[in-house]
Chains A and B, each alone.
Chain A
């Protein structure tokens, strides 16, 4: 019997019991779709987080000072000395606060950032229009602000915000620039930033200390060297590493990537278990089918079907079920992933060819593995007993 005939027989076996075949397939469909959706979402979301972090600049070091009085904080002189250091490209003191920003009767919640022009460079923030912060603004503690696109939209509703005044804690600030939209991340919108000169922020927040400094290193190779330099400097100053920390973007990135890769594998394995359960479903239904069709097997054997003919008939049936189920599962999985990525902003689906291949291949393998036993059982039946079976 040729392959074409065997395939035809397998299909007719499946079609003769549609509901049962569909229910059996459902196990495989759910399994394959689950593997694809979960792994794709895990890797896709990881990708979007790491992309965002690396877009902030991977050569970024952040120095944090904690637990000391005013006299213990960093000084302008120290920052200026660091600026001279070879390999340090950007350096920006940073102050963060959350507050309400108002313009006329409109108001919005904003992330206030006190810093300088370097901060924009380091974080790849571009101006949509207007000008950035100048040295003069820092020196003179001017009341000027750069605002995020979402803030501009909320406060001015399409009007040109340049030169207009916004109110921060009752103080007037002139809008000098609007930032390009940076989208949103897991941590919320990136377009609700209000950036003012660091020195002005010190006044506004009545906080003279410099507790956080962002440093952009010229090249990735120099990150370790600069980190060691800063550590040396800070140890000299404080005598203990308890009072400061240096946060390394690349380190974070690699840790994050490792963790999420593990997560994706774990999630894939859990989904794989459902695929396995689907395989057991196939085996179960094939065993029932063999029992039900004992007489048919007997007739076929009496007429001259060989062991191999019966074996391939049943094996092909289970492989067809798992293949068709696998294909539908791939379709469903890719569809659900895309839909989830489109509907939920914080999710991003990255359907990789590998995941699809592995999930589909696994489903086919399951059809073979769990089909062999029932098919073998059918092929091994004694024709006389099978013919007599009622």
Chain B
């Protein structure tokens, strides 16, 4: 059974009298433990695909089954629960809450899960240790470098132990050295068995994944294994 199973997914926006297809009949299967890159130029529909995978948006037609449950027909609150438990988001601009410490940021997904304070803290610290920032847990995002902020964001995504990590241009806002660090971290996570979906427009970055899905004009144009030299 696939971890993620999309069948004939379309997303249509009504622009005045015209219907615009952001996605058209996309079908996609992702297995547990895969490292998939979704690549496409801006406007290709990859952001829409990411929003759908991440349960931030609902498809116009088609069915989406995630970890054994159909999420395409869920209510907003049920989708929130799915986001909380099944998806770990890693955003381009980190999206940390500036007024909270690194630890509190990492605790957030657990907070919305009614985890006890002790366990929350323990798991958040564990996640921070995983990304190598165990000693920075008291720092606020503004006191951390861009690379460190992104690692805190990754720790937040890990804290809830979701089956899928969904990374949207995770190194798009980082300098090359920090970008390298974050990329290595993502690789390490993959090796540890996490399922990772990486959304990017950068060809070289996409080559880092094990599977590359190209998307153009709302449709998947190629879906291939990355061959390593």
Which chain A residues have a beta carbon within 8 Å of chain B's beta carbons?
A: 1-2, 5, 12, 16, 295-296, 298-309, 383-384, 387
Contact = CB atoms under 8 A, between A and B. Distances in A.
Interface in B88-140: 89, 91, 95-97, 99, 108-109, 111-114
Contact of A383 (B56, B96, B97, B156): B56
Question: How many B residues are at the interface, by size bracket?
Answer: 20 to 34
A379 to B, nearest CB: 10
B206 to A, nearest CB: 23
A305 B80 contact: yes
Contacts of B57: 384
Given A296-B97, A306-B81, A384-B51, 13 more contacts: A1-B111, A2-B114, A16-B99, A298-B95, A299-B97, A300-B97, A301-B83, A303-B83, A303-B84, A304-B80, A304-B160, A306-B77, A384-B57
Contacts of B83: 301-304
Contacts of B99: 12, 16
Contacts of A12: 99
Given A296-B97, A307-B77, A387-B95, A302 B54 contact: yes
A299 B97 CA distance: 8
B165 to A, nearest CB: 13
30 contacts: A1-B114, A5-B111, A12-B99, A296-B97, A298-B95, A299-B95, A299-B97, A300-B112, A301-B83, A302-B56, A302-B89, A303-B83, A303-B108, A303-B109, A303-B112, A303-B156, A304-B80, A304-B81, A304-B83, A304-B84, A304-B85, A304-B160, A305-B80, A306-B81, A306-B112, A307-B76, A384-B51, A384-B56, A387-B91, A387-B95
- Give the 9 A-B residue pairs with the shortest CB-CB distance, closest first: A304-B84, A304-B112, A306-B80, A299-B95, A304-B83, A306-B77, A303-B109, A383-B56, A384-B56
Contacts of B113: 304
B94 to A, nearest CB: 10
B97 A301 contact: no
Nearest to B82: A304
Contacts of B114: 1-2
Contacts of A307: 76-77, 80
Majority SS at the chain A contact face: helix
Contact of B108 (A298, A300, A306, A308): A300
A21 to B, nearest CB: 14
Contacts of B91: 387
B106 to A, nearest CB: 11
A153 B98 CA distance: 73
A303 B89 contact: yes
A307 B109 CA distance: 15
A295 B109 CA distance: 16
Contact of A301 (B80, B85, B96, B111): B80
Given A307-B76, A309-B112, A384-B51, A302 B81 contact: no
Contacts of A308: 77
B113 to A, nearest CB: 7
Given A2-B114, A383-B56, A384-B57, A304 B109 contact: yes
Nearest to B47: A384
Most buried by A among B85, B112, B156, B160: B112
Contacts of A16: 99
Most buried by A among B51, B83, B109, B111: B111
Contacts of B109: 303-304
Nearest to B108: A303
Nearest to A300: B108
A145 B90 CA distance: 98
B35 to A, nearest CB: 22
A297 to B, nearest CB: 10
Contacts of B111: 1, 5
Most buried by B among A2, A16, A296, A299: A299
Contacts of B51: 384
B112 A1 contact: yes
A11 B128 CA distance: 26
Contacts of A305: 80, 112
